Structure 1
Amino acid sequence: MNEPRIIQNFVGYRATIATEQPGAVEQLEDMLSKLGIAVVMAEIRDAKLQIEPGEKNVLFIDSDLNVAVDTSASEPSRCLPVIGIIGVEAPSRLRSLMQLGTTSTLRKPVHRAAVYSALYVGINEFRRRRHLADLVDEYERRRLMRKTLVQAVLIVMHRTGADYAGAYDQLRRESMRSRQSLEDFCEAFIHAHGPGPDELETQIGPKTNYA
């Protein structure tokens, strides 16, 4: 995966502002509008903040709020940038911002001059973190699929008489030809050509080429 490109122009983004002190964010609203960002004030019901995730959505949340954030998807840190608006610098309130995955902050009352920098850092750091998290997820997925690779190699070895290296190379070439990762190709191959290695000792198939 390539590194995400740096975003500098935020035209077309949508900002949700969650606060119970509208007067403290007037300049924030004004500056966001000048940057081409649509602004909506969050509705808080039963101490819960409902947020719709989206590729161009960003949440500004007041650290003085005592609310739960529900994205109806994954945790906020994985689905949209969160920028904290800090009033009281109590450790418990700062911790709540960290738990939301906050990547940038503004001081209350918010001043226009600080908004662009907070957006730039907050959105691009969120994209960087999500990129790294996706890399870890992909690595873990492929690690778990190594068993599938071994199963496919054993099937090819048995059916073609190739050694381990030869069977692996056959599978690798076929995966490249089909433009799939080796692990994904092996999973499809097993479904089409099984059985798995635990069955090979009791269910011996003919030694024919799998291609």
Structure 2
Amino acid sequence: MKPLRIAQNFRGRCARILTGDKRAAEILALSLHRLGAETIPMPLVGAGQMVTLPDDLSPATDIVFLDGDLSLPPVWPKQGEGAPCPVVGLVGSEAPSRLRALFQLGAGAFMAKPISAGVVFSSMFLAVNMHNRNAVLQQEVGDLRARRRDRVHVIRAVAHLARIDGITEDDAYAALRREAMRNRVSIEEYCRSLAQTDPQDKGPPAESNKKWRA
């Protein structure tokens, strides 16, 4: 995994506090202000009322404090996977169903109720950096899946070049890799571009073979 830059300055963050606990909201708002974060006013959620999750959140600027004692939806709106920004779960009841609901909505840190101002920073630190780490991991997994899908183009290009040049597959792979490096792309990207150029053979054009023999 790429080295992760640890966030520890939360000035400019916009916090959304979704709770029905007025005291908790006030303590959080005051603590966040001291940390340089802005609190966007949200109406208190009534007992038994389903929480409406915001759909305009940014991972770089927003953070949500979400009360697990409320009626929570199972997923975020407009999101296929995970939370759109860091989430801190406010925990009153430690019932597994409550904790599971917060976890499924992407809570990267928990704060026990009644809320204490002394744990706000550490909870934000954990939630923000866990969210950032998960984003990096998801990107890397996506890149690996894309490279795996493109391996078929590498196999076809190697077989094609070995056949038309009468060389071993190892030599064909080395030639393709050298050409990919010359073009400053991965071998998967390079072989995919060859397949798009020559969709019938899925391999390198015959007139280009001479430069690959070098």
TM range (shorter): 0.7 to 0.9
One-letter amino acid of the structure 2 residue matched with residue 178 of structure 1? N
One-letter amino acid of the structure 2 residue matched with residue 6 of structure 1? I
- The aligned counterpart of 2:174 is 169
The normalised TM-score by structure 2 is 0.84
Q: Among 114, 125, 135, which residue is 1:130 paired with?
A: 135
CA distance in 2, matches of 1:39, 1:61: 13
CA distance in 2, matches of 1:40, 1:160: 66
- The aligned counterpart of 2:79 is 73
106-115 or 36-45: bigger deviation: 36-45
Please tell me whether the aligned partners of residues 62 and 86 of structure 1 are also in contact (alpha carbons under 8 angstroms): yes
Equivalent positions of 1:185-196 (< 5 A) are 185-196=190-201
Equivalent positions of 1:10-159 (< 5 A) are 10-42=10-42, 47-54=51-58, 55-68=60-73, 69-77=75-83, 79-159=84-164
CA distance in 2, matches of 1:183, 1:53: 35
Please tell me whether the aligned partners of residues 159 and 206 of structure 1 are also in contact (alpha carbons under 8 angstroms): no
Partner secondary structure for residue 196 of structure 2: helix
Please tell me whether the aligned partners of residues 72 and 101 of structure 2 are also in contact (alpha carbons under 8 angstroms): no
Query: 1:95 Cα deviation (Å)?
Result: 1.0
One-letter amino acid of the structure 2 residue matched with residue 21 of structure 1? D
Unaligned runs of 5+ in 2: none
CA distance in 2, matches of 1:16, 1:167: 56
Tell me how many residue pairs correspond in the alignment: 204
Unaligned runs of 5+ in 1: none
Q: Identity of counterpart residues, as a percentage?
A: 32
- 1:150-183 superposed Cα distances (whole Å, 9 cap, x missing partner): 1122232234333211221121112112221211
- The aligned counterpart of 2:4 is 4
One-letter amino acid of the structure 2 residue matched with residue 25 of structure 1? A
Partner secondary structure for residue 32 of structure 2: helix
CA distance in 1, matches of 2:108, 2:205: 58
One-letter amino acid of the structure 2 residue matched with residue 9 of structure 1? N
